[in-house]
Amino acid sequence: MATSDGPMLLEADNLIYDNDKQTVTAAGDVRIEYDGNRLVARRITYNQQTGRIVASGNVEIIYRDGTRIFSDDIDVTDDFADGFVNALRVETVDDTYFAAESAERRGGLLTIFNNGVYTACAPCEANPDRAPIWRVKSRKIIWNGQSRTVRFESAQFEFFGMPLARLPAFEIADPSVTRKTGFLIPSIGYSRELGARLSQPYFIALSPTYDLTLTAHTYTRQGFLGEAEWRQRFDNGFYSLKAAGIIQQNPDAFRADYIDAEEKTRWMVGTKGSFKINPRWVFGWDALIQSDPSFSRTYGIEGYSQTRRVDTINLTGLDDRNYFDVRFLKFRVQDRVRDERDPFQPWVLPSLDYAYTLDNPVAGGELAFDVNLAVVHRSDLDYRAYNVLDPLSPRFGGAEGTSGRLTVAAEWKRNFITDGGVVLTPLLAARGDMIGTDLSAASLGAYSDMATNLAGLDYSHDGSSYGAVAADIRSSYYRGMATAGMEVRWPVLFSTTSASHILEPIGQLLVRPDAAYGGSLSIPNEDAQSLVFDATNLFEHDKFSGYDLIEGGTRANLGLRYSGDFGGGWTANAVFGQSYHIAGDNPFAQPNLVNAGAFSGLETDVSDFVGMVSVQTPGSLTLSAGGRFDEKTLAVRRTDFGAQATVGQVDLVATYTFIESQPLYGFDNDRREISLASRVRLTENWSVTGRGAYDFESETLVKSGINFAYADECFTYAMAVTRTETIDEGDVDFNFGFRIGFRTIGDFGSAETSFPEFTTVNR
């Protein structure tokens, strides 16, 4: 048979034609297909005059979008656009479920359920009549396919079959909709300073590519905070713009020394973006402007509340063996105490990195070039002078003024393999630096003070001290470095029937002149302020973390690398070695603005030993350990242990760290901390997680917490309690948070909640 819009296909065991009534009755396994829709039933009657199909007996309609309707009786038009159904249930392609005493479909887009039930929880296979975790019962449910909404009238929300709330009416987006104008699920929270919080977001889907979210935050202590976020996506990227502001009603609720207590009107504007210009180039940014250094952190503005953040504009290119990156940076610290750290953070205008490795060999080896440019400006001098009342060393974090450095470097290396399996890798490298400074008088004076303060101070565990220190202050510097090196490796394979072992002795010799200005406090140090000597950088050609410090002198690095496969999932890896300063000035024993080499393990001609080992077992147990040990006594200077395991339904993670005191590097005391975390899957859906970190030196439980969570295909719940204690002040905070999620309806919950009675409990 056929309709005006196209053919209708009908299959059945038996067909009865009534020409007088113009009906067709089909019985048996009946199947009708029309325009991608399908109907199956035990019996149907099709009236050619009215164009209606009446079906009965295990009726199922499958619409072309995947929605399935089940009923005993259905009266529907031949295009499946209109109809009436008794005692039905509906399964959508998004795994949501409707059921009703009766339903009416109009125009192919509007479905009205009478005395209906809605849920996103699949029926229990063992007991289909059991109530799902949650459902909404409603006198009338209107599913509008044109506006893509589901409206509930005279609704009752049930949880495990128990009624929790009654609403005269509410509306949610169609389950297939990811962007729909309307109210989002609110959230709540509490803090001692801000009071109780209720946040209500409103989402405006202006188009498929851009939208606006308006959020009203109401605080019982501080009043109303308005927030707006605009987002727009393009074929090649996206950008967002967020703004927020408040007129604080009760600044006195904050600590008197906090910035928050000094401000009344507070605001922020932030923006982020990333665009792929072409397959090789990406342009992006992340920037924040705010009324004071702490607003976004205090009020937890999402995406901008980090204590330490970096504003950046960047252009990055990557093509085969070429890499280019240029960034304009502003470092900031969102301190709540005014002028604590933020004023000392620099601008970097710009930072540029370019690396290029030639595709074709040069003299049989690989030739690579590296360019780095950094221009740093700081408005305030970051300097802490040394005196007998200050337990910390003199430290020059950064100069007031502007400094710039351009570095150009090249390196060539080639591998040779002898008949005996020895791998020889000669290398040649050259580097040149141009440095310019325009510093304030205060910075120049601090350079001289630093030189005076450092003279005679111990920089190593064997009692060695700095001699006379010079401060050769100029407006421009030029320095170069040439390196000739050789690396020798001899991997030896040992095999048995059940295991294989590779033992690889490694030796490096790097011959270099002394670094220019290495023994004076002359050149600003902005990017090489951190130095950790361990097995991971034992064979690095330059162990400083940045370009501002340069390693000179002749040095040898010797070590032994091992890897083993014992079969059955057992593997092991290990590295152990030592570094030797052979000739010239030891760069790690020379003073610099932050004393990066002091107590590093490299400040003596024979370095500390460094090593690391890891073991992987077939039972998901992973063990790792690393350490640095005194070159004479093997005393532990630094060590790290880690373990991770899964035992049945229990996951365990443990780490332990010990770092010996580094007085000249700013740490007068040893640091020892252990952290433990465990997750226990109680059932398929329930889990509990606990974690804690304990500082042995201060005997402080720095952080601890426990989390209970439930998750299944339609419902999630999490509750967390955390405790934090500051080492210096001994203040203790207890925080509580929870979140409940109903799939297709939304999430409801809180941010971390601080209980005021536990906010300041002094030890």
For 694-707, how does the pLDDT look when each residue is reduced to its tens digit (9 = 90+)? 988 888 888 888 88
Please identify which residue in the block is written with the tokens 């149907």. 44
Average pLDDT estimate for 105-116: 86
∠ at Cα 109 (107, 113), nearest 5°? 100
Residue 724: pLDDT band by 50, 70, 90 thresholds?
confident
Give the three-state DSSP class for 97. Answer: strand
Hey, where are the domains in the chain?
2-175, 179-306, 680-763
3-state helix/strand/coil string of 185-249: CCEEEEECCCEEEEEEEEEECCCCCEEEEEEEEEECCCEEEEEEEEEEEECCEEEEEEEEEEECC
Q: H helices within 401-462, ranges in order?
A: 441-454
pLDDT at 751 over 60: no
More confident residue, 91 or 386: 91
pLDDT the model gives residue 3: 45
Spell out the residues 6+ positions from residue 254 whose beta carbon is closer than 8 angstroms to its own.
193, 260, 261
Question: pLDDT tens digits for 630-685?
Answer: 999 999 999 999 999 888 888 899 999 999 888 777 777 888 999 999 999 998 88
Higher pLDDT, 389 or 339: 339
With 80 as the cut, is the pLDDT of residue 78 above it? no
pLDDT score for 729: 59
Lowest-pLDDT range, 72-76, 200-204, 228-232, 671-675?
72-76
Residue 6 — pLDDT band, cuts 50, 70, 90? low
pTM for this prediction: 0.80
pLDDT of residue 170: 84
Per the model's pLDDT, the better-predicted residue between 276 and 446 turns out to be 276
Instruction: Tell how strand 37-47 and strand 52-62 pair up.
Output: antiparallel
Beta bridge partners of 716: 711, 741
Q: Which of 28-32, 317-321, 385-389 has the highest mean pLDDT?
A: 317-321
What pLDDT sits at residue 731? 66
Q: How confident is the model at residue 32 (pLDDT cuts 50, 70, 90)?
A: confident
What is the predicted pLDDT for the residue at 386?
Answer: 56
Residues 189 and 200 sit within 8 Å (Cβ to Cβ): no
d(CA 728, CA 248): 30
Residue 123 in tokens: 């029926």
Nearest CA to 623 among 607, 603, 640, 643? Answer: 643
Residue 175 pLDDT exceeds 80: no
Which amino acid, 273? Answer: G
Angstrom distance (rounded) from CA 226 to CA 373: 41
Could you tell me what percent of the chain has a pLDDT over 70?
95
Least confident of 37-51, 197-211, 531-545, 637-651: 37-51
Is the pLDDT reported for residue 507 higher than 50? Answer: yes
Looking at every residue in the chain, the average pLDDT score rounds to: 88
Model pLDDT for residues 318-330, shown as the tens digit of each residue? 998 999 999 999 9
Average pLDDT over residues 746-751: 67
C-alpha neighbours within 13 Å on the C-beta side of residue 154:
6
CATH code for residues 2-175: 2.60.450.10
Separation CA 542–CA 549 (nearest Å): 9
Alpha-carbon span 679 to 681, nearest angstrom? 7
CB 177 within 8 A of CB 209: no
Among 493-507, 508-522, 598-612, 712-726, the minimum mean pLDDT is found in: 712-726
Residue 389 has pLDDT above 50, yes or no: no
- Lowest-confidence range among 434-438, 581-585, 728-732, 736-740? 728-732
pLDDT for res 625: 96
Indicate the range of 148-162, 207-221, 225-239 predicted with least confidence.
Answer: 148-162
Helix (H) or strand (E) holding 89: strand 83-91
What SS3 state is found at 666? Answer: coil
Q: Of 425, 589, 583, 601, whose CA–CA distance to 512 is shortest?
A: 583
pLDDT at 393: 59
- As a whole number of angstroms, the distance between CA 259 and CA 266 comes to 11
